[in-house]
């Protein structure tokens, strides 16, 4: 069977062929260069020497809530109609899943060397696991064990919960963010654009002249010893800890926490010694709940694509999927 899987975020669309339970011919295409996902898929297939007619199944993991026929991507300009998509590409059906449902299922395919433990612990048997990851946005999903070594991914929109406040400094930052944004959700800070927003808001609060114009510049400065950039990146890690901890309490995810996405793996050593661990566990009389909850940073290159393949395979085999 020739199947295509895709992991589509705000900036990039990753595509691969899925054959015999394995990824083949992975390519990454910038979403801005194509008016529709169908156009990007045709370009991908042409690039890997496959015809559209050869496709027998497609699974796309997409940022945003998935339901109904029409889908609008959360962080890019693409829109998709299942009906039109299938007609355009000659398919009988399209499996659409939330991008972090796919990311969660991808955790079941991790290989040796693709996890770095940053908070030691012991996974509680039979308990849920949390998958959270800052990237273009903030993705959150829950991975549930369902017996016989199978897992079910539960989608959600946890990146859009309210940004929590734990210190007077955070309250002051939140107040400035609220003046600018209105509703302040977690993704407003815990994302690539959010890191830059946090830096600019911190500068405004402290009367500092901004020197950096991209999240990459802020991160690079922090990692080379710039004290102010370090403080901003530290606050980013602390806020990620607060949100991750809140989600563990909500879902009962004592099986562990996977930190995925494209941002944190770029500064794992900084992250491991940051205030993430303290803020993750700082939950008053429920702090002991976290005593044995492990946290890992995921360094796998394409876990979302792997998860899309798992979802497609489970559907075709009649097993539980993340649709």
Position 320 pLDDT exceeds 70 = no
11 carries a ligand binding annotation:
yes
Q: What is the pLDDT of residues 245-275, one digit of tens each?
A: 999 999 999 999 999 998 999 999 999 999 9
What pLDDT is stored for residue 316 in this prediction? Answer: 79
Q: Which of 164, 227, 221 is nearest to 190 (CA)?
A: 164
Position 323 pLDDT exceeds 70 = no
Comparing 212 with 316, the larger pLDDT belongs to 212
Average confidence score pLDDT of the chain: 92
Position 321 pLDDT exceeds 50 = no
Q: What is the pLDDT of residues 188-247, one digit of tens each?
A: 999 999 999 999 999 999 999 999 999 999 999 999 999 999 999 999 999 999 999 999
166 carries a ligand binding annotation:
no
What pLDDT is stored for residue 231 in this prediction? Answer: 98
201 carries a ligand binding annotation:
no
For the residues 165-182, what does the mean pLDDT come to? 97
CB proximity list for 80: less than 8 A, separation 6 or greater: 36, 37, 60, 62, 70, 71, 72, 73, 96
What pLDDT is stored for residue 314 in this prediction? Answer: 85
9 carries a ligand binding annotation:
yes
Position 322 pLDDT exceeds 70 = no
| Conformation bin of residue 21: beta by default, left when phi > 0, alpha when psi is -120 to 50 | left
Handedness of CA 304, 321, 105, 243 (dihedral sign): positive
Q: What is the pLDDT of residues 52-101, one digit of tens each?
A: 998 889 999 987 778 778 888 877 788 889 999 999 999 988 999 988 89
The full set of domains in the chain, from first to last, is 3-97 (3.30.420.40), 115-299 (3.40.367.20)
- Helix (H) / strand (E) element for 205: namely helix 192-206
Q: Which of 106, 139, 42, 67 is nearest to 314 (CA)?
A: 106
7 carries a ligand binding annotation:
yes
Give the three-class secondary structure for 3. Answer: strand
Q: What is the pLDDT of residues 96-129, one digit of tens each?
A: 998 889 999 999 999 999 999 999 999 999 999 9
304 carries a ligand binding annotation:
no
Within a 10 A sphere around the Cβ of 81, how many other Cβ atoms?
Answer: 14
């Amino acid at each position: 069977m020739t199947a295509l899987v895709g992991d589509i975020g705000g900036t990039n669309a990753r595509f691969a062929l899925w054959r015999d339970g394995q990824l083949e011919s992975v390519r990454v295409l910038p979403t801005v260069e194509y008016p529709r996902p169908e156009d990007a898929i045709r370009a991908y297939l042409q690039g890997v020497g496959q015809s559209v007619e050869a496709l027998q199944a497609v699974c796309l993991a997409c940022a945003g809530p998935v339901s109904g026929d029409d889908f609008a991507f959360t962080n890019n300009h693409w829109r998709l109609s299942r009906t039109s998509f299938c007609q355009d590409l000659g398919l009988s059906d399209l499996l659409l899943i939330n991008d972090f449902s796919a990311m969660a299922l991808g955790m079941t395919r991790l290989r040796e060397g693709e996890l770095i433990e940053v908070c030691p612990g012991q996974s509680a048997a039979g308990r849920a696991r949390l998958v959270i990851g800052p990237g273009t946005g903030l993705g959150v999903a829950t991975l549930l064990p369902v017996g016989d070594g199978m897992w079910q991914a539960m989608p959600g929109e946890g990146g859009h919960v309210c940004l929590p406040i734990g210190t007077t400094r955070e309250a002051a930052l939140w107040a400035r963010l609220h003046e600018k944004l209105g509703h302040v959700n977690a993704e407003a800070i815990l994302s690539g654009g959010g890191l830059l927003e946090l830096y600019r808001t911190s500068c405004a609060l402290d009367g500092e002249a901004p020197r950096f114009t991209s999240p990459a510049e802020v991160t690079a400065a922090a990692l080379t010893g710039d004290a102010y950039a370090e403080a901003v990146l530290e606050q980013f890690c602390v806020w990620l800890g607060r949100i991750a901890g809140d989600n563990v309490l909500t879902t009962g995810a004592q099986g562990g926490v996977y930190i995925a996405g494209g941002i944190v793996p770029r500064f794992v050593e900084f992250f491991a010694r940051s205030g993430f661990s303290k803020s993750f566990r700082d939950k008053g009389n429920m702090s002991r709940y976290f005593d044995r909850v492990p946290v890992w940073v995921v360094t796998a290159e394409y876990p979302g694509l792997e998860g899309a393949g798992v979802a497609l395979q489970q559907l075709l085999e009649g097993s539980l999927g993340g649709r």
